[in-house]
Amino acid sequence: MAAVTSIDLPGLTKIATGKVREMFADEADPSSLLFVATDRISAYDVVLENGVPHKAAVLTQLTAYWFRVLTQPGALAGQTAPLCTHLLSLAPGPTARLSDTERSLLRGRCMRVRRLRMFPVEAIVRGYLAGSAFAEYSKQGTVHGEPVGATDGNSSTVRFPPGLVRCQKLPAPVYTPSTKAELGAHDENISRARAAELIGNPAHAARIEELALAVYTAAAEHALARGIIIADTKFEFGLDEATGEVVLADEVLTPDSSRFWLADQYEAGREQDSLDKQFLRNWLVREGLKGKEGVIMPADIVEQTSKRYTDVYERLTGQPLESALAALE
Ligand code: ATP
Ligand code: MG
């Protein structure tokens, strides 16, 4: 299967292009969108010229798997209201003006989703202190602007104790939001108070924080039982303006939105290899191509990266990717 790096569907209106996805609207079905993953891959914030076969299917089917797991009754501890997700179906609606060829191109890589008003924050949850959070912690003694060692509001919980080393497990998972930068810009780590301001409605802000933490906690436990640490992850939520619900949207708990580490190789105090992209990042660094535009990966790098994405899918779900694809109508 060849990688697909751009998708045009003349019968539908393309309303957005992200680093990885294309979003289409169907006039006949205005409350939904077609959320289509391409096989594009980015590393060090730059999208590579060629794509990775099966990557879109991994991202889409893994998100669908998590949505199924997380919406089971009792899946999220302490939740009274059930989790709502944006997923409507894993195929375009019958009204979508698509040819048979286009429908087969979309197979496995698309979701028909509820059209939402997205909240302008990335709901990051961290179970371990890695990436930009560790950098800020060690340089400035803060995490997302919050002083290390401070207690959390009226509770006596210390979210970021002093003396943590790189990639160390935090005492409990923490919600550390960031802004959602436009294409080409960098997200900025912000405080929970600033995130609440951007979200606009305190009840929505509280619901986003509560859901992000509950979803991370349930998923981290599920993954650890399969040998994978979810060190941190990023969720996006949107408002369903018809029902007033705060809905879990976008992709969830994929290798693109999360740091996945192998539990049996984990050791605090050093960098960990990310399960899938490390191989590509190492190659870019070795070749002096880190952060460069227009890079074309050679065939063996593409193949190895594709294998790694598929492997993560299979470890987490316990199923070959082909079974998920074969089960699609
Ligand atoms: P990255 O994920 O690397 O930051 P990106 O966010 O620019 O890249 P993609 O993941 O390629 O973009 O595209 C997904 C876009 O769709 C995001 O802007 C996301 O906020 C938006 N989105 C996700 N779900 C919905 C939805 N149900 N309704 C409306 N917009 C959505
Ligand atoms: Mg995205």
- pLDDT digit string, tens, across residues 17-58: 999 999 999 888 899 999 999 999 999 989 999 999 999 999
Confidence of residue 176 (pLDDT cuts 50, 70, 90): very high
Q: Would you say residue 291 has pLDDT above 80?
A: yes
| Tens-digit pLDDT profile for residues 199-258 | 999 999 999 999 999 999 999 999 999 999 999 999 999 999 999 999 999 999 999 999
Per-residue burial over 40-53, b = 16 or more CB atoms within 10 Å of its CB, e = otherwise: bbebeebbbebbbb
Is the beta carbon of 145 within 6 A of some atom in ligand 1?
no
Residue of 29, 182, 236 best suited for mutating to test ligand 1, as the one with most atoms within 8 Å of CB:
236
Give the predicted TM-score (pTM) of the model: 0.96
Given this model, what pLDDT does residue 78 score?
86
Average pLDDT over residues 190-206: 96
Nearest ligand, measured from the Cα of 17 = 1
Tell me how far apart the alpha carbons of residues 119 and 271 are, in angstroms, rounded to a whole number.
32
Q: How confident is the model at residue 195 (pLDDT cuts 50, 70, 90)?
A: very high
pLDDT (average), residues 120-133: 96
Q: How would you class 54 by CB atoms within 10 Å of its CB: exposed for 0-12, middle for 13-18, buried for 19 or more?
A: buried
Say what the ipTM of the complex is: 0.95
- The rounded mean pLDDT for the chain is 95
Confidence at residue 154, expressed as pLDDT on a 0 to 100 scale? 64
Q: How far apart are the CA of 152 and the centre of ligand 2, in A?
A: 30
Q: Whose CA is nearest to atom 4 of ligand 1?
A: 19
Ligand 1 atom at shortest distance from the alpha carbon of 37: 11
Place of tokens 């074969």: 326
Q: Please tell me if the CB atom of residue 87 comes closer than 6 angstroms to any atom of ligand 1.
A: no
Cα separations (Å) of 282 from 62, 239, 266, 290?
25, 39, 18, 9
pLDDT score for 151: 85
275 to 227, 239, 262, 263: CA distances (angstroms): 11, 32, 7, 11
- Give per-residue pLDDT as tens, 131-165: 999 999 999 999 998 899 988 776 778 889 999 99
Binding site membership of 234 for ligand 1 (Cβ less than 6 Å): no
pLDDT per residue over 257-287, tens digit each?
Answer: 999 999 999 999 999 999 989 999 999 999 9
Query: Which one of 250, 252, 258 would you pick to mutate in the ligand 1 pocket, going by the greatest count of ligand atoms within 8 A of its CB?
Result: 250
The CA distance from 279 to 312, in Å, is 13
Using left for φ > 0, alpha for ψ between -120 and 50, and beta otherwise, residue 100 falls in: alpha
Ligand showing the shortest atom-to-Cα distance for residue 18:
1
Q: Establish whether residue 23 lines the binding site of ligand 1, counting it when its CB lies within 6 angstroms of any ligand atom.
A: yes
CA distance 11 to 96: 8
Position 184 scores a pLDDT of 66
Which ligand 1 atom lies nearest to the CA of residue 113? 27
Nearest CA to ligand 1 atom 5: 18
**20 within ligand 1 shell (Cβ under 6 A):** yes
Looking at residue 156, what is its pLDDT?
77
| Average pLDDT rounded to a whole number, residues 179-188 | 80
- Cα–Cα distances in angstroms (integers) from residue 145 to residues 59, 170, 222, 250, 285, in the given order: 32, 17, 31, 26, 30
For residue 60, report the phi and psi dihedrals to the nearest 5 degrees. -70, -50
